[in-house]
Amino acid sequence: MKKLLLLILLILIIPLVSAKSGHLTLLAVQNVENNIGSTADLYLEIESGSGRVFLDTFPLTQIDTQMSTRLAKEIACEFLEKNCNNYDFFYTIRAGSSIIGGPSAGAALAALTVILLDDLEYDESIVVTGSINSGGIIGPVGGIPTKIDVAEKNNISKILIPSTKLNATNSSLNRTIQVVEVATLKQIIKEFTGKDYGQENYELQVNQEYDQIMKKISTVMCNRTARLKEQVETYYPDSRKLAIVQNKTIAAKNALNQSRYYPAASYCFGANIDLGSELTKNLSNEKTLEDISDVKSAIEKFEDMVDKKEIQTISDLQAKIIVKERLMDAKDSLTEGSKNINSSKAQYQLAYARERFHSAIIWAYFFNMSGKKIDLKPENVRASCINKIAEAEERFNYIITITPLEFNSTKQEISQARKYLLEDEYEMCIFKANKAKADIDVTLSVMGISKDEEMQELIESKLKYAEEQIAREISKDSFPIMGYSYYLYSLDLKESDPISSLIYAELSLELSNMWPYFNLEPKSRINLIDFNKDFLKGFVAGLIFIILILLISNKKRKNP
């Protein structure tokens, strides 16, 4: 009986120890003066676990390789919309000589991770070089000609390189190897496996409820512009601010006529700050301090109401982030105004705080927007905050290893996120961590870009992916207010201000992909091995093993 129980235990255990594993060839550049190319081997095993990432390299690589490995895994999981907190990832890189560290293996790391997680057949004879950025966008790397030479000498039939319009065409002339430009992780997976992840047609349609609320917000904001303008024209008819405001109001009017309500609200908000600061410029110090106290008191009352507001959807969560961010910004401005009371800055900071407070009040219209209800208890929002800080810090630690820039503003954003975590302001923590993460992703994305047309291509790629992500969220009855708003604003700035457009596109990406942090679609802890071929292989192996044991046991009984 004991033997039978042991055999049953074996048949249950053997399938569970199976893991997904795979291999790709990497193209590397040796860490010597002449940048001699070489190959390396990338291995990956994925097992049930707790979200840990392990990297084993020989020879030892630089710290940026470790960071790019974690980034690639994260992007792969986001690409598949898979909660990877239940898996452990074991990456191994083996090379024949010392190689230059860097992000150039990021695309290969992400591709192999996707392939194994989605259980795809793939062509190991293909190689890819390129960094991996948010949205699954492939970034440029150095040493392309050298890597193509190495691939050709090693009889590799096809090499995938970043689509940066730099080396691909010239490098592929008179060669036996096929050189293919790729711009996204989707394209890489299709080259390796034949699977086209672009077949799902997520069409971004106008959300009527959002449009109605945003129209109301922009109308209220722009009506305020008209009232403030009348006051300035009455008291300061020669003010230079009137000409500046005129340009903004024209831009707002054009946006309203085209139903671009978020950009219209943004233009009017900027105009309101200009006009409000003009109206406060001659206030006495005593009156300024009195007004600062009154505005601060009003903010605290409204903030108390917001804190008590029950949030049940992603729309509620993002509405609360929008409102809280404006309220805290207003309070900070009032604090600075009090400190600068003997300076003209105090009056400006009072005017700015008023406009931020007014903006917070009208953005509260977005509370109670329809959508799928999810578990947004404080402990869950706190856990999301911690996850986002970890992601931002990983990127920060990575970026400072590959560039001499200090990124002080990004570092400050992360510090603020940690401060909000300690103060139990979890929504603001999420926003600040997201912003820090987006800032770094923008920097990573523009590395190697030197032409205006390349910048426009990058913005188009980011916007396209953001559009798909927003449409995907809408299909789940989850509307990302901030993600959609930043997407619209990025579209509006694309021609006039490409850098700002890229920043808002990146923020749109971040804030349109919040489902992994709130378990909107929880995954089974055993879905790596549940009813797939690895499970069946293990099950059959265990069954054969038991049959053999039973046959041997019976034979021994018959022949003592």
Collect all residues with Cβ–Cβ distance below 8 Å to 276 and sequence separation of at least 6. Answer: 228, 351, 352, 354, 355
CATH number corresponding to 20-199: 3.30.230.10
Model confidence at 527, pLDDT cuts 50, 70, 90, reads: very low
Most confident of 353-367, 504-518, 537-551: 353-367
> Which pLDDT score is estimated for 319?
94
The Cα 1–Cα 240 span in angstroms is 95
Provide the pLDDT confidence category of residue 102 given band limits of 50, 70 and 90.
low
For the residues 252-274, what does the mean pLDDT come to? Answer: 93
CATH 3.30.230.10 location in the chain: 20-199
Residue 233 confidence class, pLDDT cut points 50, 70, 90: very high
| Whether the predicted pLDDT of 535 surpasses 60 | no
E strand or H helix that includes residue 55: strand 53-58
Look at phi and psi of residue 375 and say left if phi exceeds 0, alpha if psi is from -120 to 50, else beta.
beta
Residue with the bigger pLDDT between 520 and 479: it is 479
| pLDDT, position 522 | 38
Q: Can you tell me the distance from the alpha carbon of 161 to that of 114, in angstroms, rounded to the nearest whole number?
A: 18
242, 205, 266, 253: which is closest to 493 by C-alpha?
A: 266
Mean of pLDDT values over 181-209: 85
Q: So what's the pLDDT on residue 525? A: 35
Q: Quick one: pLDDT at residue 79?
A: 87
Contact 98, 59 (CB under 8 A): yes
- How many Cβ atoms from other residues are within 10 Å of residue 345's Cβ? 15
pLDDT at 158: 94
Which of these ranges, 121-130, 157-166, 510-519, has the smallest mean pLDDT?
510-519
Mean pLDDT on 474-480:
86
Q: What is the model's pTM?
A: 0.74
Angle at alpha carbon of residue 131, lines to 399 and 483, rounded to 5°: 75
